[in-house]
C-alpha cells in the first residue's frame, strides 16, 4: 500500500460513453487501492490510456499520442487498455513500447496490472471485459451507467465486436440500485450506455429485454432524466409499440433515440450483415414522430463507401436522409478494421468515398439546421448540465442543446429559457427563470 500511495496515475479516455464508464470504474478501484489520480501527464508516474478502435482515424490518433508520450517521457510507465488492444494488438506492440496492455472493462484488474508493472514486469491481459455496477459515485449533474456490453450481431465492418464480444448485461435489480445511488448523490441526468441497448437482457436468466429495464426505471421517483442508449434498428422496430408508450408516459426519458441505420440501401445493409432493412428504420422514425410529435429527436449513423456501395446505393442513402430528416448524423468514411469481413472485400476508391462524404455532409448540415429551426422562439425548461467557455449548456426534453450566458451558479438546475438564434447543432437562448424540477413535456 505504501508504494501505491506514492504512485500517481494519469488516466485519459478515448471513444464512447461506455469507455468513459469503464474509466470511472478503473478510477474507483485505483483510489480504493491507494493510488493517487492526477490531472496531467507531467505529474504522473504511470500513464493509462483507455483506448478506442472503432475508426481508423481514432486508432491513428491514439497510436500517435502513445508514441509522443513514450518519446517525451521515456521513464514513465505506459499502459493501454480498452478496445484497441483486441482490434489491433500487433500495431500497439510494434509501435508504442508499452509496459502494460489490458482489454476493455478491466475493472479491478487494473490494480493487479499496475502492481506488477511497478515491480518491473510487463503485463498483458486481454481477457477482461466484465460488466459491473459503479463503485464510487461522485457528485455531479450527468453520469453514464453501463447496463450491458457486447452485442448479438456480427456486422461485417465492426471491430468493436472483436473487442466487446457477446452481450453481457447487468441484472435489472443492479441497474435500479445504481440509479438510486446516483440520485442520492444529486445526479440529474443518467446516460444509459451499452454497445447495443436493444440486445440488453438476452443473456440473463430468465431472459429480459430493454423494455423490461426501461419500465423499471420509469417507476423510480426523483427529479432525474434518462437518455436511452444506441440500439440496432431492428430492436426499435421489434418493440416499437411498447417503446412509444414508454416515451408517451414520460417525465423520465428524453424524447430522443439513437438508431444507427448505416445505409439507405438494403443491398449494402445485407453486405454489412446488419440484420435489419431500411423499412424497419423508416417505420420506426415515422411512427415515433407521428405518435410522439414532430419534435422527437432522431440520431443516426451512416457509413459512406462501404464495399459494394455503388452510385445508386449512395443515392438511396441521400433519399433516406431527406425523407427521415434526422437531427444528428454521425458520418464515417469507410476504412477497413483488422480481422473483419469487410476488410477482405473489394474497396471503393478513396476519392469517391471522400466525394460522397462531402455531399452527404452538405445535405445533413441543411437538414440539421432546418430541424433546429423548429425550436426558434421556443420557451421551456432545460436541464443545465455543463459549463464551459463562458457559457452554460443544457438540454430540453427532446435532448436539444441550448447555450446561454449567466453569472449565476446554475449547474444542475432546471431553467426556463427562450430560444433566440438557431445553429446547425445547437441553439442560443436567454434564461428567464428557474423552472420546475421535472420536465413539463407539453
Domain boundaries, the chain: 2-125, 379-434
**pLDDT, tens digit, 9 for 90 and up, residues 255-269:** 999 999 999 999 999
**Stretch 345-371: mean pLDDT:** 98
Q: What predicted TM-score, i.e. pTM, was given to this entire model?
A: 0.93
**pLDDT, tens digit, 9 for 90 and up, residues 191-201:** 999 999 999 99
Q: Does 442 score more than 50 pLDDT?
A: no
Residues 324 and 314: their CA atoms lie apart, in Å, by 16
What is the DSSP pairing of strand 142-146 with strand 189-193? parallel
pLDDT-derived band at 440 (thresholds 50, 70, 90) equals low
pLDDT at 2: 52
**pLDDT, tens digit, 9 for 90 and up, residues 235-258:** 999 999 999 999 997 679 999 999
CATH class of 379-434: mainly beta
pLDDT at 6: 85
Domain 2-125, CATH 3.40.50.2300 — does that match?
Answer: yes
Amino acid at each position: 500500500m505504501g508504494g501505491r500511495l506514492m504512485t500517481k496515475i494519469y488516466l485519459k479516455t478515448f471513444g464512447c460513453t461506455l469507455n468513459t464508464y469503464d474509466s470511472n470504474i478503473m478510477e474507483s478501484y485505483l483510489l480504493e487501492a491507494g493510488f493517487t489520480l492526477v490531472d496531467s501527464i507531467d505529474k504522473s508516474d504511470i500513464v493509462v490510456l483507455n483506448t478506442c478502435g472503432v475508426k481508423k482515424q481514432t486508432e491513428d490518433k491514439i497510436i500517435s499520442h502513445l508514441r509522443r508520450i513514450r518519446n517525451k517521457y521515456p521513464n514513465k510507465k505506459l499502459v493501454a487498455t480498452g478496445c484497441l488492444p483486441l482490434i489491433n494488438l500487433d500495431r500497439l506492440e510494434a509501435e508504442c513500447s508499452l509496459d502494460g496492455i489490458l482489454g476493455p472493462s478491466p475493472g479491478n484488474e487494473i490494480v493487479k496490472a499496475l502492481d506488477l508493472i511497478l515491480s518491473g514486469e510487463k503485463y498483458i491481459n486481454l481477457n477482461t471485459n466484465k460488466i459491473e455496477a459503479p463503485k464510487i459515485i461522485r457528485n455531479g449533474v450527468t453520469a453514464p451507467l453501463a447496463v450491458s456490453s457486447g452485442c448479438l450481431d456480427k456486422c461485417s465492418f465492426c471491430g468493436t465486436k472483436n473487442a466487446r464480444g457477446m452481450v453481457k448485461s447487468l441484472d435489472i435489480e443492479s441497474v435500479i440500485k445504481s440509479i438510486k445511488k446516483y440520485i442520492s448523490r444529486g445526479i440529474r441526468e443518467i446516460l444509459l450506455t451499452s454497445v447495443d441497448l436493444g440486445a440488453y437482457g438476452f443473456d440473463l436468466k430468465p431472459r429480459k429485454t430493454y423494455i423490461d429495464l426501461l419500465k423499471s426505471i420509469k417507476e423510480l421517483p426523483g427529479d432525474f432524466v434518462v437518455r436511452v442508449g444506441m440500439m440496432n434498428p431492428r430492436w426499435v422496430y421489434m418493440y416499437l409499440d411498447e417503446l412509444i408508450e414508454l416515451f408517451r408516459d414520460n417525465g423520465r426519458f428524453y424524447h430522443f433515440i439513437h438508431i444507427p441505420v448505416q445505409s439507405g440501401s438494403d443491398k449494402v445493409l445485407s453486405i454489412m450483415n446488419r440484420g435489419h432493412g431500411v423499412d424497419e428504420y423508416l417505420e420506426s422514425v415515422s411512427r415515433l414522430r407521428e405518435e410522439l410529435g414532430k419534435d422527437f429527436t432522431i440520431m443516426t449513423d451512416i457509413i459512406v463507401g462501404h464495399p459494394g456501395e455503388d452510385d445508386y446505393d449512395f443515392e438511396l442513402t441521400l433519399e433516406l436522409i431527406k425523407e427521415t430528416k434526422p437531427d444528428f448524423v454521425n458520418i464515417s468514411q469507410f476504412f477497413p478494421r483488422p480481422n473483419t469481413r469487410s476488410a477482405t472485400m473489394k474497396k471503393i476508391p478513396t476519392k469517391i468515398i471522400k466525394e460522397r462524404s462531402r455531399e452527404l455532409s452538405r445535405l445533413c448540415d441543411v437538414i440539421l439546421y432546418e430541424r433546429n429551426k423548429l425550436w426558434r422562439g421556443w420557451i421551456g425548461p432545460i436541464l443545465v448540465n455543463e459549463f464551459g467557455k463562458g457559457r452554460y449548456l443544457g438540454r430540453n426534453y427532446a435532448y436539444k442543446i441550448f447555450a446561454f450566458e449567466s453569472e449565476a451558479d446554475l449547474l444542475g438546475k432546471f431553467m426556463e429559457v427562450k430560444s433566440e438564434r438557431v445553429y446547425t447543432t445547437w441553439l442560443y437562448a436567454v434564461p428567464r427563470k428557474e423552472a420546475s424540477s421535472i420536465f413539463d413535456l407539453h
